[in-house]
Amino acid sequence: MTFIRTGLGIDFHQLEEGRVFMLGGIKIPHYKGAVGHSDADVLLHAICDALLGAVGLEDIGTQFPDTDPAYKGIDSKLLLEKTFLLVKGKGYHLINIDTAICLQTPKIKPFIPQMKIGIASILQVEKEAIGIKATTTEKMGFVGREEGVMAYATVLLEKSSD
């Protein structure tokens, strides 16, 4: 018998001039970067929350609280690795992820292949199992004014009963 679980994650971060912009595990050249306790990688945080939700665990803020100095400035790839260990500990493996990033600038299409390779490596799947899309908000709202960035992620997990 096979068990299938889905999960949904969403994350938001403010953007601020002069900060490093980490997205999907890579540094994106831009004059603004996301603000957060960790490296503020909105895409990896959304994926973490989707994975955690799919197996019925509490969110990334509970697992890796911003009140814990151990996570100050941490590379979000490490948070994704730790999250995936929790998922594997429940007996699940990843089938696929689909994500959407909402930001006005910069254009990230050239960086997507590298993001997919890194995320797939951490989650032990082929890069084709990782979907990453980006969209603007047509200059509407906080994303359109370049005040922040947001990402959504859905995951599909499978567990065998053997």
Cβ atoms of residues 44 and 65 within 8 Å: no
**What domains can you pick out in the chain, each with its CATH number?**
2-160 (3.30.1330.50)
Average pLDDT over the chain reads: 95
- What is the 8-class DSSP label of residue 37? S
**0.85 cut: is pTM over it?**
yes
Judged against a pLDDT cut of 80, whether residue 161 lies above it is answered with: no
Q: pLDDT tens-digit profile of 28-67?
A: 999 999 999 999 999 999 999 999 999 999 999 999 988 8
CA distance 64 to 71: 7
For the chain, first and last CA: distance in Å? 8
Cβ atoms of residues 38 and 60 within 8 Å: no
Model pLDDT, residue 71:
87
- CA distance readout (Å), 16 to 68, 87, 106, 138, 148: 23, 33, 14, 20, 8
Phi, psi for residue 136 in degrees, rounded to 5: -95, 175
